[in-house]
Amino acid sequence: MIKNVVEVEHVQKIYGKKNESQSVALKDISFTMKEGEFIGIMGPSGSGKTTLLNVLSTLDRPTGGTVRIAGTDLTQMKNNELADFRAETLGFIFQDFNLLENLTLYENIALPLSLQNVKPVKIRERVEVVSKQLGIHDILTKYPAEVSGGQKQRTAAARALVHEPAIILGDEPTGALDSKNATSLLETMTELNAKQNVSILMVTHDPQSASYCERILFIQDGELYKELKRDEADREHFYKQILDVLATFGTQKA
């Protein structure tokens, strides 16, 4: 039986105190994500998609509702517990790579395991595996300044994978890449999802990137506006379906 890796129930996020002016970022969001799914989150600017990602990544706490990841209720955890959970259970791929310039690619990838005091032999094994999966094994001794944007993002993806997280959260992972490198990264993510059963949830404004997902959650005004499943559709047809939904927002660039 396939388990849920994410369970979001009636989540709200309100900024500001009760006696002050308040901003409602998330009104009442509920959805589940099964283990091994590849889901995209889309919506206009200010729709709440980034807030939702911040809540899922434990960087922000919801005002109400429940969030469970890999069976753990995040809303019941203390800050130090959340930090440990984030380090051990979640993987992140950011738009701007977030690599440390003074570390080699190998050291950047190894960082999550180093912080967990994993033995060097085990670290080397895991870095070898993920760097080969992502096609960067032969450049591990280089520094970020010495490699291309596509190679930097593959390094970031390897770092997200190295500790075998329950889910990878992507925040516009192709945003800083040209179309060739973006396509290459998305194909790699699709392959990891299909062959390694890696669960991926990605916020994107780009319908081309979103077309690689199995399912899209569209958010508007802090609420789940629509859900679109790829099912048996090819990527080109799914891309057109995504454009049709985005057009109902009044814009095709969320």
pLDDT tens by residue, 195-248: 889 999 999 999 999 999 999 999 999 999 999 999 999 999 999 999 999 998
Q: Look up residue 2 and give its DSSP letter.
A: P
Asked if the model's pLDDT at residue 254 lies above 60, the reply is no
Confidence band (pLDDT; 50, 70, 90) for 48?
Answer: very high
Query: What pLDDT is attached to residue 250?
Result: 56
Query: What pLDDT is attached to residue 21?
Result: 84
Query: What pLDDT is attached to residue 248?
Result: 87
pLDDT above 70 covers a percentage of the chain that reads 98
Q: What is the pLDDT of residues 127-143, one digit of tens each?
A: 999 999 899 999 999 99
Stretch 92-116: mean pLDDT: 93
Confidence band (pLDDT; 50, 70, 90) for 96?
Answer: confident
pLDDT above 90 covers a percentage of the chain that reads 78
Residue with tokens 């434990």: 58
Quick one: which of 210, 200, 217, 252 has its CA closest to 233?
Answer: 210
CB of 160 within 8 A of CB of 168? Answer: yes
Q: What is the pLDDT of residues 64-93, one digit of tens each?
A: 999 999 999 999 999 899 999 999 999 999
Asked if the model's pLDDT at residue 252 lies above 60, the reply is no
Confidence band (pLDDT; 50, 70, 90) for 177?
Answer: confident
Where would I find the beta strands (DSSP E) of the chain? 4-15, 23-34, 38-42, 64-69, 72-73, 90-94, 167-171, 200-203, 215-220, 223-229
Query: What pLDDT is attached to residue 253?
Result: 44
Alpha carbons within 13 A on the beta-carbon side of 47: 24
**Structure pTM?**
0.90
Summary mean pLDDT of the chain: 92
- Domains of the chain by range and CATH? 4-247 (3.40.50.300)
